[in-house]
Homo-oligomer: A and B are copies of this chain.
Amino acid sequence: MSGKEKAVVLLSGGLDSTTLTALARQEGFELYCLSFHYGQRHAGELEAAARIAKIYGAADHLVVDLDLKKIGGSALTDFNVGVPKASDVDQIGQTIPVTYVPARNTIFLSYALAWAEVLPAGHIFIGVNALDYSGYPDCRPEYIAAFEKMANLATKAAVEGKAVVKIRAPLSKLSKAQIIKKGIDLGVDYSLTHSCYDPTVEGLACGRCDSCLLRKKGFKEAGLEDPVEYENR
């Protein structure tokens, strides 16, 4: 036992969740990183997640298989639906895109809650962002607050009047540029992160999906160079 408080950190290997991991580490938590393999096209992010969990000295890193394909309904898990390539980053978030995975964060947080109960860990970190984001409903602060309330009625510890679990979403109200600046302050090496939803050329980000566009906009606004390589830069 290190004596440190434990935190479950939802780590996709992308820019936001890597910054989140650095933040949780800076707060002094013992990190239990949780990633999911859910048939996403961009499974390269799992390799990024493994690297990042190691760099930040995670006590454990679980990769849980999720059977989301059967449920379908998203371009990220259904290969019959194409990932849209936006022409204008400012249109992102106006409508909920086909890359939205139904109830994804609810499923992610449910597994995190299960692990938090077993460890036990009193904090769950999630890198949702409600400013420079794709308009996903399960990224909004009111959703996170409702999940936390539910979580504290769901667990053995809650029934026994013991520990509560806190859902921490410290990036929620930051712009992508602010997240990147915070990460740089914390020494994050963004060359290790993976954001692209739909990489087609080995080792390169497509540069045109929502996730790439938001990332590029963030680096531009932060006045920094994105160390990740794109197709046709």
Binding site for B on A (CB under 8 A): 62, 64-68, 70-73, 96, 100-107, 109-111, 113-115, 117-118, 135, 137-138, 140, 142-143, 146-147, 149-151, 153-156, 158-160
Contact B154–A138 (Cβ < 8 Å): yes
Contact A137–B151 (Cβ < 8 Å): no
**Complex Cα spacing A97 to B111, Å:** 20
Number of copies: 2
Partner of A68, one of B73, B105, B114: B114
Note all chain B residues with C-beta closer than 8 A to A118: 71-73, 102
Contact B149–A71 (Cβ < 8 Å): no
Residue of B nearest to A151 (CB): B106
Note all chain B residues with C-beta closer than 8 A to A138: 153-155
Sorted nearest first, the 4 A-B pairs with minimum C-beta distance are A73-B118, A103-B114, A146-B150, A102-B117
Q: When A71-B111, A107-B107, A110-B106 are in contact, do A150 and B153 touch as well, CB less than 8 Å? A: no
**Complex Cα spacing A113 to B140, Å:** 17
Residue of B nearest to A147 (CB): B150
Q: How far is the CB of A70 from chain B (nearest CB, A)?
A: 5
Note all chain B residues with C-beta closer than 8 A to A151: 106
**Complex Cα spacing A71 to B113, Å:** 10
Note all chain B residues with C-beta closer than 8 A to A70: 62, 64
Contact B156–A137 (Cβ < 8 Å): yes
Note all chain B residues with C-beta closer than 8 A to A106: 110, 113-114, 150-151, 154
